[in-house]
Amino acid sequence: MSQPKSPATECHDGEPGQPATTPMKKTLRWWLSKLLAPVLFVAGGLLLIVAVGVAQRIGWIAATGGVSNTATSEEAGQKHICPMHPQIRQTGPGRCPICGMKLEPATDGDGADLDEFSLHIQPAQRRLANIETSAVRREPMMATIQTIGEIAIDESRMATIASYVDGRLERLYADYTGVDVAKGDHLAVAYSPELFAAQVEYIESRKAVETTSLSALEVVRRTQKKLLQTSRQKLVELGMQDSQIKKLETSGEPKSRLTIYTPIGGTVIEKLAVEGKYVKAGEPIYRVADLSTVWLMLELYPEDAAKIRFGQQVEAMLPSLPGEQLAGRVAFIDPKVERKNRTVGVRVEFLNEDRRLRPGDYANATIFVPIGQQGEVYDAELSGRWISPMHPQIIRDEPGKCPICGMELVPTSHYGYADAPVERPASLHVPRSALLMAGNHSVVYVEHEPGRFELRSVTIGPILRDQVVILDGLKEGEQVATAGNFLIDSQMQLAGKPSLIDPTRALPSEKQRNIPLEFDKVQIVTVTGETGEQLESLFGAYFRIQQTLAADKKPTAEDATALHQLASSLIAQSRLPRGATAQLEKVARHSEHLHHLELKKARHEAFRPLSHAIVELATLVRGESAVKSFHHMFCPMVKGGAGDWLQPTRELFNPYWGSEMSHCGDRVHEFPPRGSSQPNGNQELHEDHSREPAKEAEVER
């Protein structure tokens, strides 16, 4: 009979003879063996997904899903750029590390990298972008100042009708506001016991004088006559007119009623009393205004008000008179700026004989101002005529008195108007659409040759409605993009070149010029008359400034002001060549505040560009009285280069270094007083102390 096995010796999945494991331990091992493989598989998949994402992020995997080494050799070698961050450039496709956007192939036009500031646009791209260009022009410009003003009453043609005596108003003839009255019309009747007593006193004084016999004492007769004069003057002070006093003398009957007459003709604009009211002496009853002339009150910015002058014509249009254009003249320019609005009040006078202009109405005003006008301005209506200093609408052919205010008429030349036509200076300008602005920087795109556009930084002047005056950066005749220039700018961004998105990079770094100014031709035109004398005086003022700087002194206010005024006066002269006028504009601009600058700034920031213009001017024009040659000097040690200046003598005195290196530099060329000469010849080397100062200059940099 078999015996049952002991549980202790029963073998369950173990070795024979070994104790059996517990059920709990078997279950945990079993689950671990079952779950380990799936967990490892899932973890590996997640790691693979993360790796693919990172590879796509950094550009190891291409857009088609393959790795980058499967891309074509052409794509892998091409430069790519971020559309949002043009500074991010890399070879081959990928994504921007800043914004994560897909990098786009850099567009370099036809593959020719022209230069840092140029871009080539293919004809097909040009047609699609609708790129248009326009020429840079030089011609007289007219600025337009547009504003809104209010029609107001001419304050010089208003009168207040007041009571001269205490009394009661028995009758008001002008019994409503707006009634028209003529000068001398009776307006009111006032009852006044005071007036009655004064009339009685006057009548009695007359009788006393008439009855005084010749035998009376002289002192008595004089006293009676003085009382008569005093009583008559009292009637005048109480408001009686001469005609009323004569009527009183004739009738001999005093009256307690006084008729009040209007001293001017016009319209009753205010009725301040009613019949039966008791009034005090001086209390106003009516206000009357002559509306044959009215004012248009304007508020202009100070920079606009500085451009206009007394008597200048202003055009206006009223919404109440559609299609009708009115013309008036500036009668007053406020000498101060209003503190609250920072504006300057300007008053324009309009004739209003037909009374169609109503005070309180609004008007759109337009003022035309010549751009770059210096000195006199020509107005055909004011040429050689006389004008009222209070009422500019009063213009006469001969001197006399103003019929409104009685002031003496003055010649229009007193306000800067010429008797003969004056040629307006021409200004360089481009269409407004050609200008791209970012902060204080302005750029345009210049087409040097078909399809090649260059980024150019410009200095702008007045911005008109559809034109912009260019002070520096462009030349007449150059073609600028007027349409599609923003698309050109975007291509510059994609190419990683300077553009409007980074205006500081759009300013080309000026290379230091360490050679003298060069001239293709030196052909000097002789200018006669007063213009020639002013030209020689201008050179003289410049030479005084040059000698002052060479002596380590600041230019005097007299010399700087004289140079600026002479240059400004010569700009308006039509006899000078166009190139000379451009140089004179630079002289006027850089000499105006020369005497206000410190010595170092005066030398390098104002005198240097001023000297460049003077040197070029000396190659173009001289005065008829000129007998001496001028000498073109150059110093290579001037910080920043371009150390040119002009002297009347051969001995060199350096205005940029002064006593520190007084004779450092070269005499480059001699310009004769008239005729022509070979440019950049006759060079002589002067004593050069440039070695040791060069080290100092390097340290200062």
The pLDDT tens digits for 536-552 are: 999 999 999 999 999 99
- Rounded Cα distance, 75 and 299, in Å: 63
Instruction: Give residues with Cβ within 8 angstroms of 513, minimum separation 6.
Output: 641, 642
pLDDT above 90 covers what percent of the chain? 20
Angle, CA 534 vertex, CA 532 and CA 540 arms, to 5°: 110
Strands, E assignment, 272-385: 278-279, 284-289, 293-300, 313-317, 326-333, 344-351, 362-370
pLDDT at 682 over 70: no
- Rounded Cα distance, 18 and 13, in Å: 10
C-alpha count within 13 angstroms, C-beta hemisphere, residue 114: 20
pLDDT at 446 over 70: yes
Contact yes or no for 345/297 (Cβ under 8 A): yes
| Higher pLDDT among residues 81 and 555, named by residue | 555
The predicted model gives 250-274 an average pLDDT of 86
The residue to which tokens 């022509």 are assigned: 676
326's enclosing H/E stretch is strand 326-333
The packing angle between helices 557-571 and 578-591, to 10°, is 150
Q: Picking from 57-71, 312-326, 436-450, which range would have the lowest pLDDT averaged per residue?
A: 57-71
Q: What is the DSSP letter of 660?
A: G
pLDDT in tens, 465-520: 889 989 888 999 999 999 998 888 888 877 777 777 765 554 444 456 678 888 87
3-state secondary structure 70-90: HCCHHHHHCEEECCCCCCCEE
Contact yes or no for 469/428 (Cβ under 8 A): yes
Q: Which of 276, 470, 465 is nearest to 369 (CA)?
A: 465
The predicted model gives 291-315 an average pLDDT of 90
Residue-level pLDDT at 66: 42
pLDDT at 680 over 70: no
- Name the pLDDT band for 345 (thresholds 50, 70, 90): very high
pLDDT in tens, 601-655: 888 888 988 999 999 998 888 988 888 899 999 998 888 788 899 999 988 999 9
Residue-level pLDDT at 319: 92
Residue-level pLDDT at 433: 93
Contact yes or no for 239/263 (Cβ under 8 A): no
pLDDT at 697 over 50: no
pLDDT at 23 over 60: no
27's enclosing H/E stretch is helix 23-58
Contact yes or no for 488/637 (Cβ under 8 A): no
pLDDT in tens, 27-53: 667 776 777 778 777 788 788 887 777
pLDDT in tens, 304-329: 888 888 888 899 999 999 989 999 99
- Name the pLDDT band for 334 (thresholds 50, 70, 90): very high
φ, ψ dihedrals at 617, nearest 5°: -65, -35
Q: What is the DSSP letter of 605?
A: I
| Higher pLDDT among residues 81 and 679, named by residue | 81
Residue-level pLDDT at 115: 62
The pair of structure tokens assigned to 140 is 């007289």
- Rounded Cα distance, 176 and 274, in Å: 10
Residue-level pLDDT at 75: 52
The pair of structure tokens assigned to 252 is 């001999």
- Name the pLDDT band for 363 (thresholds 50, 70, 90): very high
pLDDT at 14 over 50: no
φ, ψ dihedrals at 449, nearest 5°: -145, 165
Instruction: Give residues with Cβ within 8 angstroms of 140, minimum separation 6.
Output: 370, 371, 424, 425, 426, 427
The pair of structure tokens assigned to 607 is 């005198």
Q: Which of 401, 371, 370 is nearest to 387 (CA)?
A: 401
CA distances (Å), origin 69, targets 51, 61, 65, 79, 475:
17, 8, 11, 16, 51
The pair of structure tokens assigned to 509 is 């770094």
- Name the pLDDT band for 10 (thresholds 50, 70, 90): very low
- By CB neighbour count within 10 A (0-12 exposed, 13-18 middle, 19+ buried), where does 674 fall? middle
- Rounded Cα distance, 472 and 165, in Å: 72
Phi-psi region of 95 (alpha: psi -120 to 50; beta: other; left: phi over 0): beta
- Rounded Cα distance, 85 and 304, in Å: 41
pLDDT at 3 over 80: no
DSSP codes, 379-390? -TTTTT-EE-SS
Residue-level pLDDT at 207: 83
DSSP codes, 538-591? HHHHHHHHHHHHHTT-PPPHHHHHHHHHHHHHHHT-TTS-HHHHHHHHHHHHHH
Residue-level pLDDT at 445: 93
Contact yes or no for 588/571 (Cβ under 8 A): yes
- Rounded Cα distance, 622 and 535, in Å: 7
The pair of structure tokens assigned to 16 is 């024979």
Residue-level pLDDT at 548: 92
pLDDT at 83 over 50: yes
The pair of structure tokens assigned to 29 is 């091992």
The pair of structure tokens assigned to 544 is 């005084």
| Higher pLDDT among residues 337 and 221, named by residue | 337
The predicted model gives 269-294 an average pLDDT of 89
Phi-psi region of 121 (alpha: psi -120 to 50; beta: other; left: phi over 0): beta
pLDDT in tens, 404-422: 888 899 888 888 887 777 7
The packing angle between helices 193-211 and 218-237, to 10°, is 160
Cα of 114 vs its chain's centroid, Å: 37
- Name the pLDDT band for 689 (thresholds 50, 70, 90): very low
Phi-psi region of 682 (alpha: psi -120 to 50; beta: other; left: phi over 0): left
Q: Picking from 233-237, 446-450, 658-662, 695-699, which range would have the lowest pLDDT averaged per residue?
A: 695-699
The packing angle between helices 557-571 and 529-550, to 10°, is 150
The pair of structure tokens assigned to 491 is 């291509």
pLDDT in tens, 88-122: 777 788 888 877 888 877 655 444 444 667 888 88
Residue-level pLDDT at 365: 94
End-to-end Cα distance, the chain: 118
Q: Identify the structural domains of the chain with CATH numbers, from first to last.
A: 35-106 (no CATH), 118-139+427-494 (2.40.420.20), 157-289 (2.40.50.100), 293-415 (2.40.30.170), 522-700 (no CATH)
The residue to which tokens 């500036």 are assigned: 330
Q: What is the DSSP letter of 607?
A: I
pLDDT above 70 covers what percent of the chain? 83
- Rounded Cα distance, 235 and 201, in Å: 10
Average pLDDT of the residues of the chain: 80
| Helix, strand, coil tally for the chain in percent (to 5) | 30, 25, 40
- Rounded Cα distance, 443 and 285, in Å: 66
CA distances (Å), origin 235, targets 201, 204, 255, 283:
10, 14, 12, 18
- By CB neighbour count within 10 A (0-12 exposed, 13-18 middle, 19+ buried), where does 17 fall? exposed
φ, ψ dihedrals at 194, nearest 5°: -60, -40
The packing angle between helices 218-237 and 242-251, to 10°, is 130
Going 185 to 187 to 193 to 195, the CA torsion angle's sign is negative
